[in-house]
Amino acid sequence: MSNQLTPLLDKDRQQLVKIRHTCAHVLGMAVQTLFPETKVTIGPWTETGFYYDFDRLTPFTPEDMKKIEGEMRRIIKANLPIIREVVDRAEIQTEIAELNEPYKLEILESIPETESITRYFIGSPDGGRGNIPEQQPSLINPVLVPPDTCWWDLCAGPHLNFTGEIHPEAFALESVAGAYWQGDESKPQLQRIYGTAWETPEQLQAYLTQKEEAQRRDHRKLGQQLKLFSIQEDAGGGLVFWHPRGAMMRYLIEDYWRNAHLEDGYQFLYTPHVANLDLWKTSGHWDFYRENMFEAMAVEHQTYQIKPMNCPFHVLTYKDDLHSYREFPLKWAELGTVYRYEKSGVLHGLMRVRGFTQDDAHIFCLPEQIADEILGVLNLTEKILSDFGFTDYEVNLSTRPEKSVGSDQVWQLATEALIKALNNKQWNYLEDRGGGAFYGPKIDIKIKDAIGRLWQCSTIQVDFNLPERFGMEYVAADGSRQQPIMIHRAIFGSLERFFGILIENYAGDFPLWLAPIQLRLLPVSDEQQDYAKTVAIRLKKAGYRVEVDTSGERLGKQIRLSELEKIPVVAIVGKREVESQTLSIRTRQGGDLGTITVADLRERFKIAITNKKAF
């Protein structure tokens, strides 16, 4: 399927954002028109559409969804004006209380006193057709009041000027799901209606086609079908069990990763899974990341914390010796397993888990080495991602946020170094001003998969925080003690999530070099079993992953099973093949390739695997 199947959301395209944001309001208006007893909460736009959370005792049914969608089209075709109004905080508080909309009162109370309050009407309050141009757009904080002539929502925008600017055939409601108010399990459970919206019906159809294809490629379904991994609820949610075939693929991925890093001058570390809580207080994780950490444990009157990050361990390893500027850059990498608390409602196969292995690395260098080291990371990232089949990226540069640590000088130095590296790489990038971490600027790389979806994987971050917190030093050329530059980087992000992306990208049809079983020998009868097993032993000794079908099933069923299990190459072994000491080869991509010798098969395997190509 073409990568151009579906246009992806460009967040700079404000028109698409306005369409989706306005659709959320139209949805809210439609629901309260049809079901006046419903309470409304928030309704933001998303990367593929919009949603709105409602408080209603009766669950929305498929028939309700059809009615709501129909009412939305009626509102859109009415071409009602969308009017922005700045309101007095006390007056709007009274109005919301009279409407008995408790969630909107909470939203109002959460808005700082220094900020103005705005609402957007669908339809003029006076019944006219006037329009007040909206101001600078920002994210939504939606809701309501439906008199007969209009409906409104507390909101910061942005929105369209008229509902008729939405194409009535370019949106669709998709599903209903449960959602806790403000994401807090102790608060009321709401009903969230999801929708998608685009500029044209053709874009909508392309998105729906992509969505259907994505369901076919769902890594959770394929993971079970291909016997790759499982999530065992008896052990707990979000914990991955790698089955033999999936574990083989993980071994191949890790082996490739290690070799690539050794060639690039990295050294490896292994660090513990737990540490004294004081370490996480020093690093700042206890203050800034506590809600994502599991509860601490008591060990001999001390408190230990299972690690959510590898970084502090690498810092401690660094501090174990006094380093000279002559040693830099130091490049340390680790496949380090970390554990983070995620609520059960957000766990999702391999994509969102509680225990995962990061392909972590940290580079300690001099200020003048930053640009070259970043360029080196970009080159390594390109090589690794390309070998796994990803050659199309979206690159984002995130700069200094309002709240940050570090001097202006060091921020400017690091940001300019990132820009220089990207320019030397000749990669186009989007700038996210103020989107950097509080401890330093960063580069994020999103890979595009076979059906055009973007996945956040690689990240490169300059860190001014940990070196300062831990008092890291090196001996400079003039004999003084200076603070090193610390660069965090990951290429896969995590092995689990990257594996899930691989499954969906290839739809389980892995390239020969990655396939857990590269060749399956299919004996036509028991008389050919010995020859098949002899061939399998020879190929295994040569380093290939081979198995013999010993099921005793008829050949047709053996072939069908191999197809279902997406085995790249199968070799049919009959009486003729035994007599001629050959194999009849059949591949998933090329079909029947005829009869070849075992020696020829080995050579063709070697070439295909070395070049990471199909057989």
Catalytic residues, which ones?
311, 340, 358, 360, 362, 442, 488
DSSP secondary structure string for all residues of 266-299:
-EE----SEEEHHHHHHHTHHHHSGGGSPPPEEE
Give which of 181, 203, 157 is closest to 14, Cα–Cα: 157
Cα distance between residue 98 and residue 439, in whole Å? 46
Q: Is 341 exposed, middle or buried (0-12, 13-18, 19+ CB in 10 A)?
A: middle
**What values do phi and psi take at 13, rounded to 5?**
-85, 90
For residue 3, the cross-strand partners are none
Is the distance from CB of 549 to CB of 497 less than 8 angstroms?
Answer: no
Enumerate residues 6+ apart whose C-beta is below 8 A from 236.
354
CB 439 within 8 A of CB 465: yes
Spatial neighbors of 211 by CB under 8 A, at least 6 apart, are none
Sign for the CA dihedral angle at 110, 111, 117, 120 comes to negative
Helix (H) or strand (E) holding 210: helix 201-216
DSSP state of 241: E
Query: 6: which residues sit within 8 A by CB, 6+ positions away?
Result: 203, 206, 207, 209, 210, 451, 452, 453
Helices 408-425 and 370-387, packing angle to 10 deg:
40
DSSP single-letter state for residue 391: -
Q: Cα–Cα distance between 261 and 269 in angstroms, integer?
A: 12
How far apart are the C-alpha atoms of 519 and 584, rounded to whole Å? 12
- Four-CA torsion 174, 175, 179, 181, nearest 10 degrees: 50
Q: Report the candidate in 279, 266, 345, 268 with the shortest Cα–Cα distance to residue 307.
A: 279
How many other C-beta atoms can be found within 10 angstroms of the C-beta atom of residue 2? 9
Farthest CA pair distance, the chain: 94
